[in-house]
Homo-oligomer: A and B are copies of this chain.
Amino acid sequence: MSDFAALWAEIVAVGRSADGGYRRYALTPPELTLRDWFRGQAGRRGMTVTEDGNGNLFAWCGEPWAPGTVLTGSHFDSVPGGGGYDGPLGIVSAFLALDRIASPRNLAIGAFVEEEGGRFGVPCLGSRLMTGAITPARAAALTDRDGITFGEALGSTPTGQISGISHLSAFVELHIEQGRALDVPVGVGSAIWPHGRWRMEFAGAGDHAGTTRMTDRRDPMLTFAHTVLAANEEARLIGAHATVGRVQAEPNATNAIPSMVRGWLDARAADTATLDRLLESVIKRATERAGRDGTELSVVAESVTDEVAFDTELARRLSALLGDAPILPTGAGHDAGVMSSHVPTAMLFVRNPTGVSHAPAEGASNEDCEAGVEALARVLESLT
């Protein structure tokens, strides 16, 4: 068994459901198990483990936050029913890459909390906190579906911005590729598409499904449905991505016209102007339909992230180091995107044959994962 396969086997079953999907929400038992595993791996390698008061975990070869340290790592949490590679691959690969460096120094491995936003709704929460991109008070008040706040789950108000970030010389995140753009085992990231999440609330009039005449209805499910189709059409026309993956109806009863339907729009595009144009056209069509349906629409931006271009010179250098590895953008958000405003940042992507992500079919061969470890080791060695 390769060293990758052996280490991977230690965590593969944590938080996995019968259907193969993972439920590793931040600060819930499966993710806490993985954090313990992280401490164990660091301990075995004689690394010091620190927490930053924001829920992020770090293992250090050398003095914590020493100037010139190179940070690598990723996250443990998953979306509901997600795959097992998204996040953990970057952490497992980091420990194995370290093992391949003769005398590692000024190196650290991080495990960021709540990267997916799957529990508290704001993605990259841990990296946003440590870079000051979200205030501790706002983060502390975010609630999960059971009404538990992030502050309660963490056990305290987060610390917020960490001054040590400015001492890091680079951050490198290795991640499973989330599309089918790679035809070699490993690629280098160039940029993250600008993207955002908007909560759309369609308010109508709750009423009896059997007795209310069709002409008397103000049914928000119709406006929601029209908007789902409009978002898809507009994204296709403009070459962007739009998804409505989450919906909530109230009272959500078979025999009642809903009083309210909430839908969350996830939209991404290659540049900010296109993303703005997409959102504008979706809201325009939703508003027109709301007028016909007698419903009302309100839209709240839950998170919007501008385009992130990683350090171009660094990407070029790593691509050359890895034998002209392809350089590719991604539509997914990452902690690397948040970190890149503060630290020279790079991403490595490992090939995913299905291209599927956020679902159980996500995956990578052990050979490609080994290649990822090898690439990460070479990158870290060249940076330290």
Contacts and interface: CB of A to CB of B under 8 A. Distances in A.
| Chain copies in the assembled complex | 2
B179 A213 contact: yes
B228 A222 contact: yes
A138 interface: no
Interface in A56-104: 79-82
Nearest to A293: B232
Instruction: Please tell me the size bucket of the interface on A.
Output: 35 or more
Which of A116, A117, A226, A244 has most B Cβ within 10 Å?
A244
A278 to B, nearest CB: 12
A251 B332 contact: no
Given A213-B179, A226-B225, A358 B254 contact: no
Contacts of A206: 21, 81, 356, 358-361
Contacts of A80: 251-253, 256
Given A208-B358, A236-B214, A356-B208, A81 B256 contact: yes
A360 B207 CA distance: 9
B250 A81 contact: yes
A365 interface: no
A209 interface: yes
A80 B259 CA distance: 11
B259 A255 contact: no
Interface of A: 21, 79-82, 116-118, 121, 123, 178-180, 193, 195, 197, 205-214, 216, 219, 221-222, 224-226, 228-229, 232, 235-236, 241, 243-247, 249-259, 261, 264, 266, 268, 302, 330-333, 355-361
